[in-house]
C-alpha cells in the first residue's frame, strides 16, 4: 500500500470548547439531539440587529420546537421573542423595521403573525383557509405575497362521490409521487393581498387553475419569489410542465408578473435547464438568478444569469439577442432585455445572491475545495473576489454596510452566527450550544491531498478519535458520500456525524472522490454514466492510503454511506477484494433496472444512467449495477431504508438484504416505515445510531 506523503496539516477541532473546562464526556447521539439548530438569520433594515431561529428537540416526546431570537450589537446574550407551543417559522422584518412577521400554527393552521421588535404585541393578521406556507412584504408595504396549496384536480372522491369511505389514489400521468409524498391533486400557488398596518385584505391567486407549483416542490421556499423595489412586479420560479414532460425535464423558468396589468412574462424561456431564485437590483433595472445550462442535469454548474431591463444604460453593451426557443422551435427577437452570464469563466457554482446597497456589487456563496465561502462580484468589471477563508461551510450571509454577518458550520461546530470584518477577521456572535458541548471531547482532523490512480489530487478529510494516540491501532471507516454530486464539505450532520463516528473509536476517511462539486465542473461531471468507474478507484485509493498508516488496523476496515453512498457500499461489496470486514448501506441503489422505473424524477436516471435499460444500444452504465456482482458478496452488511423514500424506493434495500440472506451472509434489515430518504424523528435517529455502531462494533472491534 502507498503511504501518503502530502497533506496540508492537522486542524485541532476544539474552537468551540475554548472554555478552560476539562473535557470528559463522549459525544453521543443523545448529546447531539440536545443541540440547538440555528437557522434563517434576518438583518434588521437599519442593520446591526438580527433575528434568527433555534430549533430544539425533546427526545422523550419525540418532537421538535422552533423559537425566534433577537441579538443586538454588543448584547451579552440573545433575547427570546416567541414562546408559542408550536414552532414559529419564516420570521422576517417588515421593510420599515417597526415590526417582525412570522408564521405560526398557534391558532390551528399556519397563519401570519406580527409582533413588535422586542416580541411585544403578538397579533395574528391573517385568517386564510387551509393555512399558508410562506409570505413576504412588498418593499412599499402595500402588499403581502403568500403561498398556499390549491386543489386544482379531481381525486377519487370527486370522481366517485357515492363512495365516501373509499381510500384510493388515481393517476393518469407521471410525477404522481415526489421524494416523500404522493401527489394530492393540489399545487402551491402564489397569492398577492393588499396590506395595511396590521391587516391583510383578500388575496388574489396569480396562477388561477394552473396545474403547477411555485415555489418548486419539494424544497423550494420564499427565496424563489421576490418583489421589484417599487412593489409593482413579482418575479417567481416555476416549472410549467406536466406528466412525462415534467418528469424528464429540469426546465424551470423565471416569470415576471405585473401587479398592475396582471400579465406574466417568461424571462428565461430560452434556457432549457434549471432557472431559480430571482433577485432584483436595488434600482429595479436588473434581475439575477441562478441558472443551469444543461437540460435534465440537476448538478450542472449554477451560473449567475443577469437580465437587464434597460439596455440603453449599458454603455456600449446594448445588443439584440436572436435565439431559438427550444420549446416551440421558433426564433424570438428580444430587444427589451439583455442577458449576461456573469460567471462565465468562473469554474464554480453560485447561489444565495445579494446586491450591495448601491447595486454595484453582487455577493454570493460558492464552494471551493470542499468548503463554502462568500464572494463579491463587481458588476462593472466582472471581477470576482473571495471574501472569506477557512475550512468551514458558510450557509447564509447578510451585509450591514461594512461587515458580513454569516452563519457557518464545521465538522466540530453546529451552525452559529459570526461577524466577518473587511480584513477577514471573525467574531463569533452566538454560542447556542456552548454549555452542552463545553465538557465534550471532540476529534482532531487531517486535511490531506492524495494522488489518485489517474494522477489527480483528491482532498480527503481524515477524522481521528478524541485523545488520539498514534501508538495505538484503530479501526477505520470509509465514508461514501451521497448525491452523487454533493461535496464532502465541512458540514455538521445530524446523522452521518463524523464527530460521533470518531467518538466511538473509529478513524473516518471521507474522500471528495470524482463526481463531487467545488473542484471544478470537469471533476463534478465525470461521474455521470461512470458510477462504477474512476470514483470507485478514488474510494479505494483513499482507504488504502490511510490504511497504510501505522495507527490504522488494515484488518478492521468498514465502508458506510447513504443514497449514492449506499449504492457505493453495494458496489464495493462485490469489488473490494477482501479489504472490508463490515458494510452499512442506507437507502442505496441496488438494481439499476428496477430503480429506473421505480424512481420519480426521471431526468435523474436518464442523465446519470445515460438512458433506459431497454434502450438499443443499452447504456454501459447498467453494467455498474451492484446486483451484477452479488456472486462476489461475502461481508456482513446492515441495510437501512425508509418506507416513504420515493427517490430510492425501499424495495432496493429489500433486494440487497434478501441477496445477503440467500447467500448466508450475516446481515440485518433496519426499516423505518414512516421515515423518508432521511431519518428525521429524534428517537428513530437515536435508534439508527445505536444500530449503526452496534453493527460496526460487532465486526470491527
Query: CA–CA separation, 378 vs 458, rounded Å?
Result: 31
- Can 645 be counted among the known catalytic residues? yes
- Can 697 be counted among the known catalytic residues? no
Q: How many residues are given for the chain?
A: 701
Query: Which of the 8 DSSP states describes residue 572?
Result: H
Closest Cα to residue 534, out of 507, 554, 552, 514? Answer: 514
Give ∠ CA 481-483-486 in degrees, rounded to 5. 75
Q: How many helices (H) and strands (E) does the chain have?
A: 12, 44
Q: Which listed residue (40, 393, 412, 645) is catalytic?
A: 645
Q: Which listed residue (214, 489, 563, 621) is catalytic?
A: 563
Q: Determine contact, residues 405/394, Cβ cutoff 8 Å.
A: no
Sign of dihedral through CA atoms 80, 85, 91, 95? negative
Q: Which listed residue (183, 576, 627, 677) is catalytic?
A: 677
Query: CA–CA separation, 646 vs 217, rounded Å?
Result: 14
92: Cβ contacts below 8 Å, ≥ 6 apart: 42, 100, 101, 102, 136, 137
In order of 105, 124, 142, 502, the CA distances from 199 in angstroms are: 18, 9, 11, 53
Helix or strand run (H / E) with residue 700: helix 682-700
Q: Determine contact, residues 609/592, Cβ cutoff 8 Å.
A: yes
Q: Determine contact, residues 104/84, Cβ cutoff 8 Å.
A: yes
Please, which contacts does 632-635 make with residues 24 or more away whose CB atoms are closer than 8 Å? 632/573, 632/574, 632/575, 633/573, 633/574, 633/659, 633/660, 633/663, 633/665, 634/663, 634/665, 635/573, 635/576, 635/580, 635/581, 635/582, 635/583, 635/665
**3-class DSSP assignment, residue 275:** strand
Closest Cα to residue 255, out of 221, 219, 287? Answer: 287
438: Cβ contacts below 8 Å, ≥ 6 apart: 17, 19, 21
- Can 538 be counted among the known catalytic residues? no
Give the catalytic positions in this structure: 563, 645, 677
Amino acid at each position: 500500500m502507498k503511504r501518503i506523503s502530502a497533506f496540508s496539516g492537522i486542524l485541532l477541532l476544539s474552537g468551540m470548547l475554548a472554555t478552560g473546562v476539562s473535557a470528559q464526556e463522549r459525544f453521543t447521539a443523545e448529546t447531539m439531539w440536545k443541540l440547538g439548530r440555528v437557522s434563517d438569520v434576518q438583518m434588521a433594515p437599519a442593520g446591526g440587529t438580527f433575528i434568527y431561529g433555534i430549533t430544539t428537540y425533546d427526545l422523550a416526546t419525540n418532537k421538535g420546537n422552533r423559537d425566534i431570537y433577537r441579538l443586538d450589537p454588543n448584547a451579552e446574550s440573545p433575547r427570546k421573542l416567541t414562546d408559542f407551543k408550536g414552532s414559529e417559522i419564516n420570521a422576517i422584518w417588515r421593510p420599515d423595521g417597526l415590526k417582525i412577521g412570522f408564521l405560526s400554527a398557534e391558532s390551528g393552521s399556519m397563519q401570519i403573525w406580527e409582533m413588535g421588535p422586542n416580541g411585544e404585541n403578538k397579533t395574528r393578521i391573517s385568517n386564510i383557509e387551509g393555512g399558508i406556507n410562506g409570505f413576504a412584504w412588498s418593499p412599499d408595504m402595500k402588499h403581502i405575497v403568500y403561498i398556499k396549496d390549491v386543489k386544482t384536480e379531481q381525486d377519487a372522491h370527486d370522481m366517485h362521490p357515492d363512495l365516501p369511505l373509499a381510500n384510493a389514489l388515481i393517476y393518469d400521468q407521471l410525477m404522481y409521487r415526489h421524494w416523500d409524498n404522493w401527489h394530492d391533486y393540489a399545487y402551491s400557488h402564489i397569492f398577492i393581498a393588499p396590506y395595511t398596518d396590521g391587516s391583510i385584505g383578500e388575496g388574489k391567486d396569480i396562477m388561477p387553475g394552473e396545474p403547477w407549483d411555485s415555489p418548486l416542490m419539494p424544497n423550494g421556499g420564499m427565496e424563489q419569489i421576490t418583489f421589484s423595489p417599487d412593489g409593482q412586479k413579482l418575479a417567481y420560479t416555476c416549472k410549467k410542465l406536466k406528466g412525462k414532460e415534467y418528469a424528464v425535464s429540469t426546465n424551470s423558468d423565471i416569470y415576471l408578473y405585473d401587479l398592475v396589468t396582471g400579465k406574466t412574462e417568461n424571462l428565461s424561456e430560452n434556457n432549457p435547464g434549471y432557472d431559480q431564485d430571482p433577485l432584483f437590483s436595488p434600482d429595479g433595472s436588473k434581475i439575477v438568478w441562478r441558472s443551469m445550462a444543461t437540460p435534465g442535469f440537476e448538478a450542472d454548474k449554477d451560473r449567475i444569469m443577469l437580465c437587464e431591463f434597460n439596455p440603453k444604460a449599458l454603455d456600449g453593451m446594448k445588443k439584440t439577442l436572436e435565439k431559438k426557443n427550444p420549446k416551440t422551435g421558433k426564433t424570438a427577437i428580444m430587444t427589451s432585455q439583455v442577458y449576461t452570464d456573469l460567471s462565465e469563466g468562473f469554474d464554480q457554482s453560485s447561489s444565495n445572491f445579494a446586491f450591495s446597497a448601491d447595486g454595484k456589487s453582487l455577493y454570493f456563496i460558492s464552494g471551493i475545495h470542499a468548503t463554502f465561502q462568500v464572494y463579491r462580484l463587481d458588476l462593472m468589471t466582472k471581477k470576482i473576489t473571495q471574501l472569506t477563508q477557512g475550512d468551514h461551510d458558510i450557509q447564509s450571509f447578510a451585509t450591514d454596510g461594512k461587515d458580513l454577518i454569516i452563519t457557518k458550520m464545521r465538522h466540530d461546530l453546529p451552525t452559529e452566527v459570526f461577524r466577518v470584518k473587511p480584513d477577514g477577521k471573525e467574531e463569533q456572535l452566538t454560542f447556542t450550544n456552548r454549555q452542552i458541548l463545553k465538557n465534550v471531547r471532540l476529534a482532531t482532523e487531517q486535511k490531506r491531498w492524495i494522488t489518485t490512480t489517474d494522477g489527480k489530487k483528491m482532498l480527503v478529510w481524515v477524522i481521528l478519535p478524541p485523545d488520539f494516540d498514534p501508538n495505538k491501532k484503530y479501526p477505520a471507516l470509509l465514508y461514501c458520500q451521497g448525491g452523487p454530486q454533493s461535496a464532502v464539505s465541512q458540514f455538521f450532520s445530524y446523522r452521518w456525524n463524523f464527530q460521533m463516528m470518531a467518538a466511538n473509536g473509529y478513524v473516518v476517511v471521507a474522500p471528495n472522490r470524482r463526481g463531487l462539486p467545488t473542484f471544478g465542473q470537469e471533476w463534478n461531471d465525470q461521474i455521470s454514466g461512470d458510477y462504477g468507474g474512476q470514483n470507485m478507484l478514488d474510494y479505494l485509493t483513499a482507504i488504502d492510503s490511510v490504511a497504510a498508516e501505522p495507527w490504522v488496523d488494515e484488518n478492521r476496515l468498514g465502508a458506510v454511506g447513504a443514497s449514492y453512498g449506499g449504492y457505493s457500499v453495494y458496489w464495493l461489496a462485490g469489488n473490494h477484494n477482501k479489504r472490508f470486514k463490515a458494510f452499512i448501506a442506507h437507502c442505496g441503489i441496488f438494481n439499476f433496472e428496477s430503480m429506473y422505473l421505480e424512481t420519480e424524477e426521471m431526468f435523474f436516471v436518464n442523465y446519470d444512467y445515460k438512458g433506459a435499460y431497454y434502450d438499443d444500444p443499452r447504456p454501459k452504465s447498467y453494467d455498474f449495477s451492484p446486483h451484477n456482482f452479488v456472486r462476489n458478496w461475502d461481508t456482513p452488511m446492515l441495510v437501512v431504508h425508509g418506507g416513504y423514500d420515493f427517490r430510492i424506493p425501499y424495495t432496493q434495500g429489500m433486494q440487497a438484504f434478501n441477496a445477503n440472506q440467500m447467500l448466508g451472509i450475516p446481515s440485518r434489515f433496519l426499516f423505518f416505515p414512516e421515515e423518508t430518504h432521511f431519518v428525521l424523528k429524534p428517537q428513530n435517529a437515536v435508534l439508527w445510531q445505536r444500530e449503526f455502531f452496534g453493527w460496526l462494533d460487532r465486526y470491527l472491534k
